[in-house]
Structure 1
Amino acid sequence: MRIAILMTNTDDSAFAHRHPKDGAKFTALVQMARPHWSCDVFAVKDDIFPEDISRYDGVMITGSPASTRSGAPWVDRLLALIRQIHDRKIPLFGACFGHQAIALALGGRVDDLPGGWVHGRTENHLVARPEWAAELPDVVSIYGSHVEYVHELPKGADPLMTRDGHSTGFTLGRHIATTQHHPEMTHDFICALTEELRTDMEPQVHARALDSLQEQADQPALAEAIARFFEAARVG
């Protein structure tokens, strides 16, 4: 398969330059499960978009510190592209910002997260089990870092995962799947990011993050599930 990765991460800090970019992270996630698949990265945050999205077997939208509610021209253009992808039923997977952007583009609602910043390893209860998610555990561990969330799902969407009473992933038809969190992040990266953001966090948030990172996320299982999602969506 050929996957388009729409890179939305606006972080241009020294820390970001010391680590692989999100395009590389998502490519590694895809190829962890399907080494022969190819990925093309488009920095949509710099207004670089695919000329013809229909050339791709699937699309992934990355995370970002930017807000889907910012009204930035590139965000508006991305929301329009999401609606086009949905209309054409091209398989689409969104993570964090991508999850929120898909929801917002298709009529859902994004708000500030009650209780503030979530950061570290999160435990998400699988509330639906499509065939492609058959091998995921009932409680899925995924690294996360966010202050906004999807308050209302788009019409026709079904919750996939929940955490603390909030949806942390959804499906829409057979061609859309999302997660609020970051399946592309490795344990080494989230640990480094936690230390980088230490002074930006309240002490209790940092302490909870460190405690959560004593165990690792379910990255290999997530990589396989995402690959199966694209395969099932193409068949559907």
Structure 2
Amino acid sequence: MKIGILQTGHVAEELIPDNGNYPEIFARFLDSQGLEFDNYAVVDGDFPGGPDAADGWLITGSKFGAYEDLPWIAPLEDLIREIYATDRPMIGVCFGHQIIAQALGGRVEKFSGGWSVGAQAYQLNGENVTLNAWHQDQVVERPADATVVSSTAFCENAALVYGDKVFTIQPHPEIDRAYLQGLLDVRAPGVVPEPLRQDAMDQLDTPTDSARLADMFALFFKEKRIA
């Protein structure tokens, strides 16, 4: 099964030698799932010819906001709506979660409650899972077609499903310990409040359920369900 990765950002240059860019990170995260990948760096204007260029689609995270006036945002929203109108499954992570919601009638904004960084506890579709988070923006109004499958006191719309078409999640199951430490060392200073950064550093060794999410992603791609 061929998955088209819609790349909406770039890993910080200092972190690429040890981690790769977003397509490599996601390919590693889903390495054991029997999937093939094509990458489209939509952040740089590289778009597929249409929804039929892949069997399923995955939209990555990004340092940008879904609400920003950037030249690739509107075309990406158009593509999302085109994919949604087909029978191809689509998954969004963090920015991907947000831009899909925005494209389908929801609203995204910079959350007044601030940042969520590092290991966080979620109940996802009835399962208790721990995943790494890295976000300030949130989906504050979900589209009419979206159903909440994870919600926390901090993040009301932490994961959404849209029937058998779309599965999106706010945290980052693809972020492993090494990459998280790199983000905390390189990107967090001066951006993330220092107490939150330090708390995330203190929890770097917290086990996460990324492998469970990789299974869930693959199940959705192959069977269009999460359980």
TM-score (structure 2 length as normaliser): 0.92
**Structure 2: distance between partners of 1:209 and 1:21:** 22
Asked if 2 retains the 8 angstrom alpha-carbon contact of 1:9 and 1:45, the reply is yes
User: 1:153 deviation in Å?
Assistant: 0.8
Hey, what does 1:193 align to over in structure 2? 183
**Structure 2: distance between partners of 1:73 and 1:168:** 27
Superposed CA offset, 1:51-94 (max 9, x none): 13213111000000011101211011101100001111310000
Asked if 1 retains the 8 angstrom alpha-carbon contact of 2:15 and 2:182, the reply is no
Change (3 A) 1:13 1:41: same
Q: 1:1-12 residue pairs with structure 2 within 5 A?
A: 1-12=1-12
Q: Secondary structure at the match of 2:224?
A: helix
Which structure ranks higher in relative contact order (CA pairs < 8 Å, sequence separation ≥ 6)? 1
Asked if 2 retains the 8 angstrom alpha-carbon contact of 1:11 and 1:65, the reply is no
Hey, what does 2:29 align to over in structure 1? 29
Q: 1:1-236 residue pairs with structure 2 within 5 A?
A: 1-16=1-16, 18-32=18-32, 34=33, 36-126=34-124, 128=125, 138-165=127-154, 166-200=156-190, 201-233=192-224
Q: Secondary structure at the match of 2:180?
A: helix
**Structure 2: distance between partners of 1:31 and 1:12:** 22
Identity %: 30
Asked if 2 retains the 8 angstrom alpha-carbon contact of 1:59 and 1:92, the reply is yes
Equivalent position amino acid for 1:160 in 2: V
Following TM superposition, the consecutive aligned residue runs of length 4 or more in structure 1 with deviations greater than 4 angstroms are none
Equivalent position amino acid for 2:67 in 1: R
Asked if 1 retains the 8 angstrom alpha-carbon contact of 2:23 and 2:39, the reply is yes
**Structure 1: distance between partners of 2:89 and 2:108:** 22
Alignment RMSD: 1.7
Q: Secondary structure at the match of 1:217?
A: coil
Structure 2 unaligned segments of length 5 or more: list them: none
TM-score (structure 1 length as normaliser): 0.88
Equivalent position amino acid for 1:27 in 2: A
Q: Secondary structure at the match of 2:92?
A: strand
User: 1:214 deviation in Å?
Assistant: 3.0
Asked if 1 retains the 8 angstrom alpha-carbon contact of 2:107 and 2:141, the reply is yes
**Structure 2: distance between partners of 1:73 and 1:10:** 16
Structure 1 unaligned segments of length 5 or more: list them: 130-137
**Structure 1: distance between partners of 2:66 and 2:46:** 17
Asked if 1 retains the 8 angstrom alpha-carbon contact of 2:10 and 2:21, the reply is no
Asked if 2 retains the 8 angstrom alpha-carbon contact of 1:4 and 1:42, the reply is yes
Q: Secondary structure at the match of 1:199?
A: coil
Equivalent position amino acid for 2:149 in 1: L
**Structure 1: distance between partners of 2:196 and 2:104:** 32
User: 1:207 deviation in Å?
Assistant: 2.0
